[in-house]
Structure 1
Amino acid sequence: MLLALLLCYAGFTALCLSTDRHHGELLHSKPTPRRRLGLRVSGWLLLPGSIWPAVAVAGWSQGLVEWCAVLMLSALLLVLLLPYRPRLALGLAGAGLLACPVAAFVTL
């Protein structure tokens, strides 16, 4: 479930960075249209892609339930971190993406 959590959090962070407000707050610049599109596409690919590790570990019935829980947990974590520790929220997403291969190796 760790891999699903990391992918969900990275997906939500990418979607968050595709908005002008959060991109400017975290990266101190306005996103270009190309960057905005890239962040949206990657965010929307990471979220459904995070279903695979959950289903691979627990099967379809339990895996989808656990994936929904991980989806809500990652969104809650991002929502709670953005107002108080926005740089930490961005750092966790980057560290999570770097840890994904390790989590995939441990999971499978």
Structure 2
Amino acid sequence: MPRTPIFLEKRSYRQRRMMDAVRLLPFLGLMLWMVPLLWPVPVAGVVAEAAPAMPMSVALRYLFGVWLLLIFASWALWRRTRDIVSGEARDPAEEAR
């Protein structure tokens, strides 16, 4: 009785890992967008010398930076999954020519 190999083919394994990364990206973005909620907030009437409040301009630059990072990451993952899928769709007989 012949045994089937345990491991997946390299191409299908890469495709599955790329699709896992695509599915994980929105959750990563949500976690990164929640980071400013952990930054110190100024309290009226209390001097906070130990933890000064984060300026709004820094918070907005951070949010737009994360947004641009997510756009670039989704584009890069789309390109990788497109290349993997299109490479898998090719007929092996055509590649031999």
TM-score over 0.5 for the alignment? no
Q: How does the TM-score come out when normalised to structure 1?
A: 0.36
More helix by share: 1
Determine which structure has more spread, i.e. the larger CA radius of gyration: 2
